[in-house]
Amino acid sequence: MITKFTQSNYHQICDELALNDVDLGDIIKAHGYPPLWSRPNTFETLVHIILEQQVSLASALSALNKLKERVQELTPARVLLLNDEEFRACYCSRQKTAYIKYLAEALISGHINLEAFEILPDGEIRAQLVTLKGIGNWTVDVYLMFVLQRADLFPIGDLAAVNALKRIKNLPANVNKEALITIAVQWQPYRTVATTLLWHYYLSAPKKVPGK
């Protein structure tokens, strides 16, 4: 069964999570409901997510905008017309250039079909996407959460979500992944929405000053 969240049930799910986890409830009390972050199911979106790997959101957006300026419309066919020097001029590393090209080729060949993903289970989508070089579990998690609005994912590889969870639960910095996953299991079947609360907290709460 595919579980999704929508604009109409988003706050209701947040409230349900808040009832079952006081720390999540405290986030809503202090900062309100999180935005319902979403992105269209397009090649451009997946390129954007690839560009976001291990860099700041601002850097990724800058590279994306440069690519769009270069090709006007970010499509697989137009991207494949660019040479490596043109990618470098758009702030794309050699690795990410290769990843974007692999993705474009997979879409053109029909190996990957984004429209078909709309009705496929999470596991099948993950199995297909991770066959592409440069797409790992974090990229798939973000795609499933932001693009397809799948409701029950916890991105254990996302530092912002993990650090927010450690902070609201007063966990030690060296807590292992298994302990974090165990906490997240309690939020099923809405781990994605719980994660949006964690991101909302991470972006809204004052950062701790070291030594204070």
Domain boundary among the residues 147, 172, 196 is at 147
Q: What is the mean pLDDT of the chain?
A: 94
Phi, psi at residue 163, to the nearest 5°?
Answer: -65, -35
Q: Are residues 59 and 124 in the same domain?
A: yes
For 150, list phi and psi in degrees, rounded to 5: -75, 135
Q: What is the CATH number of the domain that holds 53?
A: 1.10.340.30
Examine the domain organization and report whether 87 and 157 are in the same domain.
no
* Residue 79 in domain: yes
pLDDT of amino acid 211:
43
Residues of the chain with pLDDT under 50: 209-212
pLDDT at residue number 174: 93
Q: Could you tell me the residue range of the domain that residue 169 belongs to?
A: 10-37+153-204
CA distances from 78 to 64, 126, 165, 187, 206 (A): 14, 26, 41, 42, 43
pLDDT at 207: 67
Instruction: State CA 57 to chain mean position distance.
Output: 11
Does residue 120 sit in the same domain as residue 68?
A: yes
Q: Is 150 helix (H, G, I), strand (E, B) or coil?
A: strand
Judgement on whether residues 55 and 119 belong to the same structural domain of the protein: yes
pLDDT of residue 205: 79
Last residue in a domain, options 147, 174, 189: 147
Q: Where do the H-state alpha helices sit in 72-117?
A: 76-79, 84-89, 94-109, 114-117
Q: Do residue 138 and residue 49 come from a single domain?
A: yes
Q: How much is the pLDDT for 2?
A: 77
Looking at the fold, whether 21 and 79 belong to one and the same domain comes out as no
- Do 121 and 55 reside in the same domain of the chain? yes
Q: Clarify whether residues 24 and 53 are in a common domain.
A: no
Give helix then strand counts, H and E, for the chain.
Answer: 13, 0
Within this chain, do residues 89 and 135 fall inside the same structural domain, yes or no?
yes
Give the model's pLDDT for residue 212. Answer: 38
- Report pLDDT for 208: 59
* Number of domains observed in the structure of the chain: 2
Is the same domain home to 47 and 143?
yes
Please identify, among 147, 168, 187, the residue that sits at the C-terminal boundary of a domain.
147
User: Residue 172 — left, alpha, or beta (φ > 0 → left; ψ -120 to 50 → alpha)?
Assistant: beta
Are residues 62 and 23 part of one domain? no
Token code pair at residue 117: 């993903």
